[in-house]
Structure 1
Amino acid sequence: MKFSSSLKFNAVADWWDEYIAYDALKKYIYQLEKQQAGHEHLLLHDIESNEHSSLLRQGDASNTDSLFIPLLDRELKKIVLFYEHQEKELLDDLEELEKDVALQEEIGLRGGEHYQDFDEEDEEDDDSISRSPVGTRRRRKSSSAARGQRLPGGPSGLPDASPILRRQSISSNEDDGPGLETSYASLQPPKRGTLSKLQTKFTNMRDSITSSASATVEHTIWTSQSDYAYDTRLLYKRRITNLYISFTNLKSYVEINYSGFRKIIKKYDKVTYSELKDRYLHEVVEVALPFTQIAKDRVNDALNHLHDLYAKCVSRGDKNLARQQLRLHQRENIAWERDTVWRQMIGRERRGEGDTIDTAGATLVQEPEPAIVDIPTPVGKFKITKRKILKVLAAFLFAIMLNVQVVESEEANRCFAILTLCTFLWATEAIPLFVTSMFVPLLLVLCRVIRDNDDVRMSRTDATKYVFSIMFSPTIMLLIGGFTISSALSKTNIDRVLITRVLNLAGTRPSTVLLAFMGVSCFASMWISNVAAPTLCFTLIRPILRTLPPKSSFGPCLILAIALAANIGGQSSPISSPQNLIALQYMDPPLDWGRWFIVALPVSAISILIIWLFLLVSYHPARSPDGEGDIEIKPIRPTREAFTLKQYWVTFVCIVTIGLWCIAHQIEEYVGDMGVIAIIPIVAFFSTNVLKKDDFEHFMWTIVFLAMGGIALGKGVVSSGLLDVLDVAIRDLVTGVSLYGVVLILSPVVLVVSTFISHTIASVLLVPIAQAVGKSLPGHHENLLIFITGLICSTGMGMPVSGFPNQTAATQENELGEAYLTNVDFLKNGVPASIIATLVVSTVGFILMRVIGL
């Protein structure tokens, strides 16, 4: 949780204005960052005091220190003054409480002489009520509260008023002996209590038996079993508890503000390259009153005094029980006082219920979908939404396709109906993409489309075993191994360390910085997936975006460049995207990593360079918005931390695993398949606590199930005989067309499809077609066409919805909440970039594939 959120969640609501103004200070830091980056005459606006100061370009950290330290001093002074007032008030309350406890001990049980029940005859006697305000009815309430029933006023039924027990008048006369007159006021207005005569006699009899049984025991006000002693202890319990909660709130106030100073100065040092944190904390903050050891000892001593008072007045001398009960009351108070909205928001984030974009390309919308029509029914309104209409259309389409003979074989016809249904659901996203994938094995078994090697329809039992056996293939294990490597690199911060060190070499020229970020985004997508890589890069460019002049074209250009490069990176390694793994699944024999890199790396590098040149021409990112000179980019500061033993271990395992993948065919006799090699990082990282159970649960399992459904559908197309039907039709279409002619025909088809639907879904639908086309050509070039199809699936990036990197880029906003990119940016620049990358695959990629023997 970010500290600003943690501050709101843990702060005492009534003291909110007295905490460190963390958000305001963070805004000041970003203003100082702009000033340090060279933007002159920036205006720093003090929101709280409406003061303005002109920040002129100074050039070093000492000058920014002179501007930021007064802001810290002002916050510290505010906190000190508030703490002094609260501490004095609470210590005075504690002193008064101790005096009242001592006085109550002195009075003892004599104070209960006028503590009596009301008979029915006393109900109209106002004088009697005024003499004894603690009536039977109120005592019954106290008993219910002691049993844990919730009463108005706060947690555990604690009333808000204070003090709890107030001594009003005490008079003593030596001549009258022990005749001591005492009156106590209740927290709540006095209420008349009533008891029947039978109840009154029963109460007197009980007290008589109790006093007789313990005649030899000397009772005090804190141990007596009388009603008066019970209510007195209960009221003192409430008073001690309220004061204890106030002191713990004050202690928490000090701890939260110290964390606030430490975190805000750490952020300041990181942004402005200063070294203020240790000096200011030790020399200024820690010598201020709330943060000194003397002040902390006073609060701790007060809490210990309250433990002792609670043990004396309530828990019969048991200090451990007193400590436990006071802490329980503290927890109840925290649960009562904290903002319910924050608790719900944090709970939703922990359960993953926030509005997010699914890694498979589907938007997870938590808010109800708007209704097109509301139809009233006896059980409520039935809402007709767009998705419900699409679901009905999908069912209607499936029913028609099952009953219309499109192809000759029954199994192939049913498989074609399943293929049509899944294509419709994937294209429209009427239901989540991975749920559609789960439909595949269900429909394959129920419709009995699976045939054995003798072209005999399998029984549903045998078909179930077959479908599930092929769904968890070595390719799926390879995908999980890729997730493991990605998670380990991210968790140990290796990705950030390497990336920031590379970007630090880029300098301050906009064109160089742009190319560096594109290269880093592409390279990161190879290993930590094209889902996580752009997110990481967008985090790293935040300091650059904050220091840019208003309306600078460099911001949109940089964001779009990162997204496009991440898409290109999705084709660079077998584990960088699911479409590559699906392509490997259909290759026979599968391509090893070494030959994949021979083709994919040059193709990716050439695509990145050409797209970089195109963006420079399109955006002119180096040009200043006012047309006077070029902008200067703030350099990325590399992390200072040295590599740890854990980081070296992760690096070693990743290098060994990738090396084995590259020579998988040469060692196939020993490892069997690349999927077995993928187990190495899983065992190495989870057995050494680099990764934990929670990391495994956070893997992108929607992608895994999406790939499994795609594999099952492909096998169903083959087993049902539908592929043979398609093979005949495709053979007629490509007759007389050369291999390269087929490539030129197939490439734009794949590009268009992958632009408008998920890249993974495009590969699921098009890779089997490419395989069928390849088999129909002389020379068995199916692996080549599959490879080209898999690579081009990653180049569809002309729309905001074309792949996860584009979706993430489209959500990036500036400080005013305005999106950096519009649909025009994607159409004007994303579409040409897609065409460029596709041409590179179909030309350079084709030549390299022929060189390696495909």
Structure 2
Amino acid sequence: MAGILTCLWKYRNYIVIVLTPLLLLPLPLASPTSEAKCGYVIILMALYWCTECIPLAVTALLPVILFPMMGIMESNEVSPSLQQSHILINHFLLEWDDICVFSSVIQVCIQYLKDSNMLFIGGLLVAIAVEHWNLHRRIALQVLLIVGVKPSLLMIGFMGTTAFLSMWISNTASTAMMLPIANAVLQQLCDTEANAEEREFNMAAAKNGLDNQAFEMGDAKMSKELQSKENTINLDKDDSNGIISSLEAQQRRLKTEQKYTKLTKGMSLSVCYAASIGGTATLTGTTPNVIMKGQIDELFPDNGGVINFASWFGFSFPNMVLMLALSWLWLQFMFLGFNLKSTFGCGTKKEGDREAFQVIKDEYKKLGRMSFAEGCVLTIFTLLVVLWFTREPGFIPGWATLLFNKDKTYVTDGTVAILMSALFFCIPSKLPRCCGRSEDGASSEAPAALLNWDVVHEKMPWNILLLLGGGFALAHGSEKSGLSIWLGESLIPLQSIPPFAISILLCLLVAMFTECSSNTATTTLFLPILASMATAIEIHPLYVMFPCTISASLAFMLPVATPPNAIAFSYGNLKVLDMAKAGFILNILGVITINIAINTWGVAMFNLNEFPSWANVTKTP
């Protein structure tokens, strides 16, 4: 029996791939409607995503196959441009039915390369350039040099730096870069403190020995016999004292190492948690944020650009800072305690601080002076952020509206991202020297550009683009098949529940679900359902979609929940229980913080107390 179970476990992926569609087949057969067929595809993809029996990106491509074959994209949805091209296509001997099938495929495929995908590509190209020229490492070390190496300040320094980097580069990259630095600094602090205590202990023991000798030499009244006897006894005492001293020294060192082992656990968790929290602050910080913007634009095309880089930052950045502060307080309590004298460095040795500080300083010196390439990358990055903020700030007309079109904004955040990221392929990485010579005297070649396609191809996560497209295709299929309206009508009884309670319950559900599934898949599955629910019970879609999107990044409890957790688990000598205890409280704090944000400044920013006219899309498909 055990052998059979072992064999089944080895082939579990193939079993899931084959059995899942067969077991779900009664759904479209018993109810051959468009809604049931679309539900079949969504459930199938959800199970494939949760089990990861095939790569996530391949699962995201299933709508390209299943939607046209199951008739979810109906033949009468042919785009006007295809209808006008009917005569042209007939020259290639295509029948009209074939054209309709062809258009159905196109209707699905265009979901895989929308404006949100372009925004994501542009943001990733900037992140790749920053990593390629080590600019993120220079920023991190410079911040740590300012913060110092006191235990509590060191933790908030690492958390703040990691969160800032995660706003612009991937959470995984920022965690992988910061953890080795944190471990090196803590190891130096541990060794220095242990050596300092050992030296102090030896000096105290030597001082006590000198005091005894002076006392014995000053006792002139003692006879030679008593002196020799007493000396013999003293020798025995010295031997026993030496053993005791050695044991005490070992116990002190062991205690110091245990203290820093606990501190290392806390520091490792603080870095990976800060990476996940920091990614929520910007629109391009993590994939779920981009998915939400794409879903809003897909499901509510008349929303007027309610979500852009500036509006997202305005809402999420204060929430990120609050979550980061609460996370620091909890990790401080759990791993350091609230002894200000020890954790803020009032009682630590100055020598230990200097040596640990020197570790960071040496790492910074290895980077050398800022190169021309780093300066260019920093300039382009700064310009990109400024253009994002000022494109359409909301309270005043942005530059895109003033310069290009006053009635309709054609320039989007994706346009700006691609424009600025394209400069990396046009600007040389070194100052051009027309008369430069190489070492052998020959004329030197022109310097390479800041980025080349080989670097981009190696570091670009192409699978995420397919995941984004798969999510947009699911949303489009749900809308066209009528599944969204059916779900909305089924959820109308929720009108009797207060909106804030609905938001809290949904955030807890998403936060639990994302521990077992990727945050990308979680957001892709939940957002279309949440949008349907919001329109059915007539609450602002952002009131539930925004908190749940951020909650999808609250994957704090398990090492497999997100790559930053896995990296920290391998570095910090952590146990699953350590991460689960710390992460459970942080999940609760995160949900509370998000709902405080959405019910305070979120209401003021997005007018969430009213059901917007652009969200009233309950039309018969």
The alignment's TM-score, normalised by the length of structure 1, stands at 0.52
CA distance in 2, matches of 1:478, 1:494: 22
What whole-Å deviation, never above 9, does each CA across 1:62-107 have from its counterpart, x for those lacking one? xxxxxxxxxxxxxxxxxxxxxxxxxxxxxxxxxxxxxxxxxxxxxx
- Does the 8 A contact of 1:394 with 1:421 survive in 2? no
* Structure 1 match to 2:292: 583
* Structure 1 match to 2:604: 851
CA distance in 2, matches of 1:428, 1:601: 33
Match of 1:639 among 360, 364, 367: 364
Alpha-carbon shift at residue 619 of structure 1 (Å):
0.9
- Does the 8 A contact of 2:75 with 2:101 survive in 1? no
- Does the 8 A contact of 1:788 with 1:846 survive in 2? no
- Does the 8 A contact of 1:440 with 1:709 survive in 2? yes
* Structure 2 match to 1:836: 589
- Does the 8 A contact of 2:28 with 2:37 survive in 1? no
SS class of match (2:283): coil
- Does the 8 A contact of 1:373 with 1:385 survive in 2? yes
Give the partner amino acid of 1:850: V
Alpha-carbon shift at residue 649 of structure 1 (Å):
1.7
Match of 1:745 among 502, 505, 508: 505
Cα distance change, pair 639–407 in 1 and its aligned pair in 2 (3 A): farther
- Does the 8 A contact of 1:523 with 1:569 survive in 2? yes
Give the partner amino acid of 1:473: K
CA distance in 2, matches of 1:758, 1:401: 23
- Does the 8 A contact of 1:511 with 1:622 survive in 2? no
* Structure 1 match to 2:327: 611
Match of 1:400 among 23, 34, 40: 23
| Number of residue pairs aligned between Structure 1 and Structure 2 | 466
SS class of match (2:169): helix
SS class of match (2:514): helix
Alpha-carbon shift at residue 470 of structure 1 (Å):
1.5
CA distance in 2, matches of 1:442, 1:660: 39
Is the aligned partner of 1:719 residue 2:499? no
Alpha-carbon shift at residue 410 of structure 1 (Å):
1.8
Match of 1:808 among 556, 567, 587: 567
Alpha-carbon shift at residue 430 of structure 1 (Å):
1.3
Is the aligned partner of 1:479 residue 2:120? yes
Alignment of 1:351-390 (within 5 A): 373=4, 384-386=7-9, 388-390=11-13
- Does the 8 A contact of 1:622 with 1:630 survive in 2? no
* Structure 1 match to 2:411: 672
Match of 1:595 among 288, 300, 311: 311
CA distance in 2, matches of 1:831, 1:824: 10
Cα distance change, pair 621–560 in 1 and its aligned pair in 2 (3 A): farther
Give the partner amino acid of 2:390: I
What whole-Å deviation, never above 9, does each CA across 1:388-425 have from its counterpart, x for those lacking one? 33433343332232333599562221111111111111
* Structure 1 match to 2:62: 439
Give the partner amino acid of 1:607: M
CA distance in 1, matches of 2:390, 2:481: 35
CA distance in 1, matches of 2:75, 2:488: 19
- Does the 8 A contact of 2:163 with 2:277 survive in 1? yes
Cα distance change, pair 443–744 in 1 and its aligned pair in 2 (3 A): same
Cα distance change, pair 502–736 in 1 and its aligned pair in 2 (3 A): same
Give the partner amino acid of 1:563: C
Is the aligned partner of 1:658 residue 2:385? yes
* Structure 1 match to 2:516: 756
Alignment of 1:172-571 (within 5 A): 373=4, 384-386=7-9, 388-405=11-28, 410-451=33-74, 459-547=100-188, 548=190, 549-551=256-258, 552=260, 553-571=262-280
Cα distance change, pair 788–847 in 1 and its aligned pair in 2 (3 A): same
CA distance in 2, matches of 1:435, 1:595: 33
- Does the 8 A contact of 2:556 with 2:565 survive in 1? yes
- Does the 8 A contact of 1:471 with 1:709 survive in 2? yes
CA distance in 1, matches of 2:117, 2:537: 30
SS class of match (1:663): helix
* Structure 1 match to 2:554: 795
- Does the 8 A contact of 2:16 with 2:53 survive in 1? no
CA distance in 2, matches of 1:789, 1:459: 37
Identity of aligned residues (%): 21
Match of 1:775 among 535, 538, 542: 535
Q: Which moved more, 1:451-460 or 1:600-609?
A: 451-460
SS class of match (1:756): coil
Alpha-carbon shift at residue 483 of structure 1 (Å):
0.9
CA distance in 1, matches of 2:146, 2:421: 34
- Does the 8 A contact of 2:491 with 2:537 survive in 1? no
- Does the 8 A contact of 2:78 with 2:104 survive in 1? no
The alignment's TM-score, normalised by the length of structure 2, stands at 0.70
What whole-Å deviation, never above 9, does each CA across 1:661-693 have from its counterpart, x for those lacking one? 223343254653222212123310022210112
Alpha-carbon shift at residue 459 of structure 1 (Å):
3.8
Alignment of 1:61-100 (within 5 A): none
Match of 1:684 among 404, 423, 431: 423
Structure whose alpha-carbon radius of gyration is higher: 1
Cα distance change, pair 372–415 in 1 and its aligned pair in 2 (3 A): farther
SS class of match (1:391): helix
Cα distance change, pair 436–386 in 1 and its aligned pair in 2 (3 A): farther
- Does the 8 A contact of 2:116 with 2:294 survive in 1? yes
SS class of match (2:496): coil
Give the partner amino acid of 1:526: M
Q: Which moved more, 1:578-587 or 1:645-654?
A: 645-654
- Does the 8 A contact of 1:537 with 1:562 survive in 2? yes
Cα distance change, pair 663–785 in 1 and its aligned pair in 2 (3 A): farther
What whole-Å deviation, never above 9, does each CA across 1:298-319 have from its counterpart, x for those lacking one? xxxxxxxxxxxxxxxxxxxxxx
* Structure 2 match to 1:72: none
CA distance in 1, matches of 2:421, 2:148: 38
CA distance in 2, matches of 1:372, 1:438: 35
- Does the 8 A contact of 1:398 with 1:418 survive in 2? no
- Does the 8 A contact of 1:503 with 1:516 survive in 2? yes
* Structure 1: stretches of 5+ with no match in the other structure: 1-370, 375-382, 813-818
What whole-Å deviation, never above 9, does each CA across 1:465-490 have from its counterpart, x for those lacking one? 11111210111111111111111111
Cα distance change, pair 396–675 in 1 and its aligned pair in 2 (3 A): same
* Structure 1 match to 2:395: none
- Does the 8 A contact of 2:77 with 2:104 survive in 1? no
CA distance in 1, matches of 2:187, 2:603: 48
- Larger % of helix: which? 2
What whole-Å deviation, never above 9, does each CA across 1:530-562 have from its counterpart, x for those lacking one? 121111111322321432252221111000000
SS class of match (1:542): helix
- Does the 8 A contact of 1:471 with 1:712 survive in 2? yes
CA distance in 2, matches of 1:519, 1:526: 11
CA distance in 1, matches of 2:525, 2:579: 25
Alpha-carbon shift at residue 438 of structure 1 (Å):
2.1
- Does the 8 A contact of 1:744 with 1:842 survive in 2? yes
Alignment of 1:612-631 (within 5 A): 612-620=328-336
- Larger % of strand: which? 1
Give the partner amino acid of 2:525: L
Give the partner amino acid of 2:257: P
Give the partner amino acid of 2:369: A
- Does the 8 A contact of 1:718 with 1:724 survive in 2? yes
Higher relative contact order (CA 8 A, sep 6+): 2
Alpha-carbon shift at residue 616 of structure 1 (Å):
1.2
